[in-house]
Amino acid sequence: MAESSGQMLCSTDGLTRLRERLGKIGKLRGWHLGACHARQPERDCVIYEAFDREGRAHWLLAGPWREWPRVSGLWNQLYWASEIIASSSHIFRFMDQMVPEIAWEGVEEGYVGYSEKRKTRSFFQDISDSNPPRFENLVQLTGFLRLLQTGENYFERKESRLMMAQMESRAVDLVEALAGRIPKKPVFRHWKSFYIQNARSISRSTSNRLTLSFGAFATTCFTCTECGALLIDLPFFLSENIADMDLCKILFDLSGASVQDRQYLMDLYFNMDIPSHFFTLLTHHAMTSILHDLRRSPAGSASESRKIDRFASLSRQHDLFRTPVPSWYL
């Protein structure tokens, strides 16, 4: 019998049912569930930390059978991209597989997958002027992101088009909500018109499309080993987003990286031929991220002041919000 919506796996009752589900699987009987590290409540899919009978740490994925065709297809796409990267160079063949191996089990209520945790550290947190990324890791990273976007979009539905169609109206709403909190200084003179114009360009462009994406996990799921292998590690869920948005998220969060490293990343990703519409997407994402952070900051707080300073820095990078191409790429 399928679990009812009132007993979803991400709820307290759902956790009890998940423990019961593990008890029905011989290999997982006696395992201890730790914290929930990622969840998709709308699909009742979760990722927990779990410990086997010997105390070894694993990632445990679970969801209902109605989601299995999508989950199976997504992991097949991940494995395919990993195999393509591994076969593209003898260097990559001797590194660990980028994507973790998942063992899948099933009971009447749904599927369960588990994978032993790998010893890794965050890839992006280690990057700085004094600790630049290895060139081969940038090749792996950009190659994987591009390959992921070539696969079937398992999230596509009739409402998907609204993601871009409503972009301009969402931008107008955000401008109206924050207009009184942006100082009336020359550095911010053009921010409203620039932000809305970029949103309009994205929503009307025929160059943009929706693809698979790491979404909020784009800057956290990439890790590396002591020997320098780039890996993609749980916890993460794939989702649907505008093509190349993962690169936008990564570039925005790579504030500690050198200008040269950010340029390398973009040039490798686009094979030295960066389309003009990407700069519009990149700038819009950066502005949106800062504006949402500002909206969450209490008025007059130190946090608000930091967000205003970062917004001013972004303005200067874009000729006082008059061009989508950042000065660090020129």
Is the domain of 143 the same as that of 202?
A: yes
Task: Record the tokens describing residue 36, joined without a space.
Answer: 């929930």
pLDDT tens column, 99-149: 999 999 999 989 999 999 999 999 998 787 778 889 999 999 999 999 999
Is the domain of 169 the same as that of 272?
A: yes
Q: Which H or E run contains 240? A: strand 239-242
- Count of structural domains within the chain: 2
pLDDT tens column, 244-293: 999 999 999 987 788 999 999 999 999 999 999 999 999 999 999 999 99
pLDDT of residue 12: 63
pLDDT tens column, 6-31: 456 666 677 888 999 999 999 999 99
Residue 117 in 3-state DSSP? coil
Q: Final residue of a domain: which of 59, 86, 117? A: 117
Residue 12 domain-assigned (yes or no): yes
Which residues constitute the domain of residue 309?
Answer: 135-317
Is the domain of 86 the same as that of 145?
A: no
Is the domain of 108 the same as that of 149?
A: no
Q: In what order do the strands lie in the sheet with 45-51?
A: 32-40, 45-51, 57-63, 110-116, 103-107
Helix, strand, coil share (%) of the chain residues, nearest 5: 50, 15, 35
Is the domain of 97 the same as that of 139?
A: no
Residue 329 domain-assigned (yes or no): no
Is the domain of 72 the same as that of 209?
A: no
Q: Mean of the per-residue pLDDT values for the chain? A: 92
pLDDT tens column, 198-224: 999 999 999 999 999 999 999 999 999
Residue 208 in 3-state DSSP? coil
Q: Give the CATH number of the domain where residue 37 resides.
A: 3.30.200.20
Give the confidence band of 97 by pLDDT, cuts at 50, 70, 90: confident
